[in-house]
Amino acid sequence: MAKAVSTDPGQLFVIARNPEPDSKLPYLLHMPLEGALILKARDTWPRSTRIYCHPFEDVWPADAEIIEETPVASCRRRGAVIDLVLDRPRNTRSQFVFTETRGRPAIFWQTQKAARAANPGARVPRRRALSETFTISVDTRERYPYRFSGRDVLVERATLQAGDYAILADGDILATVERKTLENFTSSLSDGTIAFQLQRLGEAPRAAVVVEARYSALFKLEHVPAGWIADMLARLQVRYPEIQVIFADSRKFAEEWTFRFLAAALAEATDRVQ
């Protein structure tokens, strides 16, 4: 027998019948995210195809007819995607992808199987291009900085609390990148100073370290036991999993990666505000 849930379902993923009689989306989904995220949906689980969803523009109905309620193991927003993991034996992992179709906002609920069956262009959230020039702040202590030549960006010098290149919003770091040559990277791993740099980077919403070398170069260092530097790096990455460490092969590609990372971070933040 169907039952009603209270107006605060707590840490549960709840599926109920949509009380709107004329809706083509007959189900309501309740997720414990940002207070409560409530969506209308075409079906109760994306088994073989993606499911179209739409925001439910009202509070959770006090007399909602519940079809299913399941404890949530994890529910996290990652930019234009919400990762949902349920605490049950089967059908545990899914994503809600916020994108656009034909110029209009759309939400698709998908599993890995459903995403594979969809057309490739819909698997990754589509980002609108940044329509205006943006500014990359370069730390005043950075010697021989990237110039981002040929890019539609402005470069300004600033005293950054973390990283060498950053996007700022009202003076606060939105995203930042620490640049390392191979020599500087390995020496900071050897003397332990990089741990304090990662600590500062971890205070930013988005942060990364880009190394102007290949990962294989760590195993070709002279006067250092084989693999020791790589072990030190692995331990720090376990300690600070939120900070990416990218080996970009060369200065040219490190500059390219830095530009794309900062541009993507700005686009992500802009989309969340709008």
pLDDT along the chain (274 residues), means of 10: 47 94 94 89 93 93 93 88 93 91 88 74 49 88 94 94 94 96 94 92 95 95 86 94 95 96 88 56
Domain boundary among 98, 122, 146: 122
Question: Does 103 share its domain with 186?
Answer: no
Tell whether 98 and 148 lie within a shared domain.
Answer: no
* 221 and 169 both lie in a single domain: yes
Look at residue 131 in the predicted model and tell me its pLDDT: 52
Question: Which of 94, 122, 150 delimits the end of a domain?
Answer: 122
- 101 and 69 in a single domain? The answer is yes
User: What is the torsional sign of CA 63, 69, 73, 76?
Assistant: negative
The angle at the Cα of 208, spanning 202 to 209, to the nearest 5 degrees, equals 110
Q: Are residues 158 and 253 in the same domain?
A: yes
> Considering the domain boundaries, does residue 27 fall inside one?
yes
Q: Identify the CATH number of the domain in which residue 176 sits.
A: 3.40.50.10130
What's the pTM value of the predicted model, to 2 decimals? 0.68
What pLDDT sits at residue 117? 74
Supply 193's token pair.
């100073």
pLDDT (0 to 100) of residue 119: 57
Which helix (DSSP H) or strand (DSSP E) does residue 189 occupy? helix 182-191
Distance spanning both ends of the chain, measured CA to CA: 41
Q: Are residues 144 and 258 in the same domain?
A: yes
Instruction: Provide the pLDDT for residue 88.
Output: 93
153 and 68 co-located in one domain = no
Answer yes or no: is 182 within a domain: yes
For 210, the domain range is: 134-273
**179 found inside a domain:** yes
